[in-house]
Chains A and B, each alone.
Chain A
Amino acid sequence: MPKRSGMLDSTRRLLIGIFEDEDGVLAATRAARARHLNVVDVYAPYAIHGMDRAMGLEPSRLPWVCFLLGLSGAAAKVWFEYWTTADNWPVNVGGKPWDSLPAFVPITFEVMVLFAGLSTVFAFFLVSRLWPGRRSRLIDPRITDDRFALVIEQTDAAFDPEEVSRFLQSHNAVRVEERVEEGRG
């Protein structure tokens, strides 16, 4: 998830380092943060172990969505089963009491898993701004194949693109380019 500094619709000047392997981009990300550069995001064809720590990402809040929605799903299902079998249209099954909790457990469990799973996936799509019809904005087409990109934002006047370029190249960046990103919502 990109960290944004300043207003949403301001123009951003970005410096992009393209790397050939995961060790290179991992080391460069660590070093960039040690130099207090503003790491906007890192793009890779697959998940890189340890990258979250190298980027200093905060722990995801998705587990909370999973936990709370799972709990609500389970509660709603227990209520629904009680309502259908004991309240609205009592059904006698094998002489068991109307509100036979043990019989509710398997379905409650399944619905809890369903709610927890689906809500986590949808919450993930939502916070990642992924929905049908959305145009992808690739920083470089090859990050879906065999390249890794480290994106650094030029935050203030003290930022020296020349020097940061040399820094990225010293970490085996195969290409460094500057890009101006027009403001967008």
Chain B
Amino acid sequence: MKLDFQPPRRTLRLLQGMAAAGALALAAGALVTPQRTWANLLVASFLLIGLGLAGLLFIALEYVTHAGWSVAFRRVPEAMACALPCGAAGLALVLIAGAGIYPWTHEPLHGFKGWWLSTPFFLGRAALYVLLWVLLGRSIIRTSRRQDADGEVAHTHRNIRTSIVFILVFSVSFWLASYDWIMSLEPHWASTIFGIYNFAGLFASGLAALIILVSWLGRSGPLRGFVTAEHLHDLGKLYFAFSTFWMYIWFSQYMLIWYANITEEAVYFVRRQQGAWGTLMVLNICLNWVIPFLALLGKRAKRDPRILVKVAAVGLAGRWLDLYLMVNPAVAPGPPRFGPIEVALAAAAAGIFVLAFLRGLRGAAPVPVEDPRLAESLAYHT
């Protein structure tokens, strides 16, 4: 049983159009307003990398906790991981062609920071992070699919071990990656919680994407009859929890900087509170936490895909805005800009994500048919 899910032609064409519009905007923008274009490409690429990593992290967490409930839809996070190489390609373009957005490339720093943020080491680290993620992710997914063929329990044990390694590698490397790629845009500013803050955003947005994709395939695709309101209910609970975790970490970062009020730290929020940026900061909190929290507080909303999917879409928009607020004020001072470049690159990220996801689904059974925990997942009652 192979999975050959093709969405309607119109949907496919729309997704390809979104990706093409992004490519056009990238080419034109790189010539006309390079700084702004590279900044938005960084946002889009980091978003894609985050969604891919969130898929892998979800699978790894389910393996190490011996969880059974999520097995029925494991092919969805597996396919999400295909967004990782696409995001990495965009990031490579930023780090090589658009490195000018990093101030330390034209005014070198001193001491440890100068050594850490030197171009060859910086690029080497980036390559290492991506290589580790891709190799470990591939190993997990390949082993999961091999089990479809022979049903050996040994594959599950092997994936538990790989998942432990992945979680350890991920927790250090993603922390450093968010320092390298985002925080070093303002190299004189430092926040030790920045890595957790980015992890919170990554996992909340990954769960939001997972909710949307699982309900899509469950309604009109190959997972019909396999995923139930029980699975959505638990995904909704996880998303609710990690949205609140994001708010908790956001506020932890804000409050310490506000309380200490040290010039080189406070400048980060001063910049992001002036004029229209301040409005966007409030909007960021609403999209990422206030709306998901209030909407998903009750039980009914978490079990009803029509409500849950809309809330998850709000959360994904919030993730984009969160990254936009981390990157753009640092690169392009002045009032926030939202024009064709921002729209086209954000749309391209969405289009490429879904196309990569559909590609990742190809060539495998819609559910891990031989997984020893599949029966538990199908009969799941929350």
Contacts and interface: CB of A to CB of B under 8 A. Distances in A.
Same complex for A and B? Answer yes
Interface of A: 49-50, 59, 63, 67, 94, 96, 102-103, 105-106
B255 A94 contact: no
10 contacts: A50-B381, A59-B299, A63-B298, A94-B259, A94-B261, A102-B251, A102-B254, A102-B259, A103-B255, A106-B255
A93 to B, nearest CB: 9
Nearest to A103: B259
A49 B382 CA distance: 8
A63 B297 CA distance: 10
B258 interface: yes
B378 to A, nearest CB: 15
B251 A105 contact: yes
A102 B381 contact: no
B83 to A, nearest CB: 35
B interface residue count range (under 10 / 10 to 19 / 20 to 34 / 35 or more): 10 to 19
Contacts of B254: 102
A140 B254 CA distance: 57
Contacts, number: 18
Interface string B295-328: 0011100000000000000000000000000000
Given A49-B381, A50-B381, A102 B258 contact: yes
A63 B296 CA distance: 13
Contacts of B299: 59
Nearest to A67: B297
A49 B233 CA distance: 15
Nearest to B254: A102
Question: Which 3 A-B residue pairs are closest in the complex by CB-CB distance?
Answer: A49-B381, A102-B255, A102-B258
A13 B300 CA distance: 38
Interface in B257-286: 258-259, 261
A105 B255 contact: yes
Nearest to A106: B255
A35 B255 CA distance: 60
B159 to A, nearest CB: 27
A180 to B, nearest CB: 37
A108 B160 CA distance: 40
B45 to A, nearest CB: 33
A67 B298 CA distance: 10
A159 B299 CA distance: 38
A74 to B, nearest CB: 14
A76 to B, nearest CB: 21
B69 to A, nearest CB: 12
Contacts of A105: 251, 255
Contacts of A67: 297
Given A102-B254, A106-B255, 7 more contacts: A59-B299, A63-B298, A67-B297, A94-B259, A94-B261, A102-B251, A102-B258
Contacts of B381: 49-50
Contacts of A102: 251, 254-255, 258-259
B230 to A, nearest CB: 10
Nearest to A50: B381
Nearest to A95: B261
A96 B259 CA distance: 8
Contacts of B255: 102-103, 105-106
A34 B381 CA distance: 22
Contacts of B297: 67
Contacts of A63: 298
A67 B258 CA distance: 30
A67 B293 CA distance: 12
A118 to B, nearest CB: 19
A50 B261 CA distance: 53
Interface string B237-268: 00000000000000100110011010000000
A50 B379 CA distance: 12
Contacts of B258: 102
A126 to B, nearest CB: 22
A67 B299 CA distance: 13
Nearest to A59: B299
A93 B251 CA distance: 20
A50 B298 CA distance: 19
Contacts of A59: 299
A106 B259 CA distance: 13
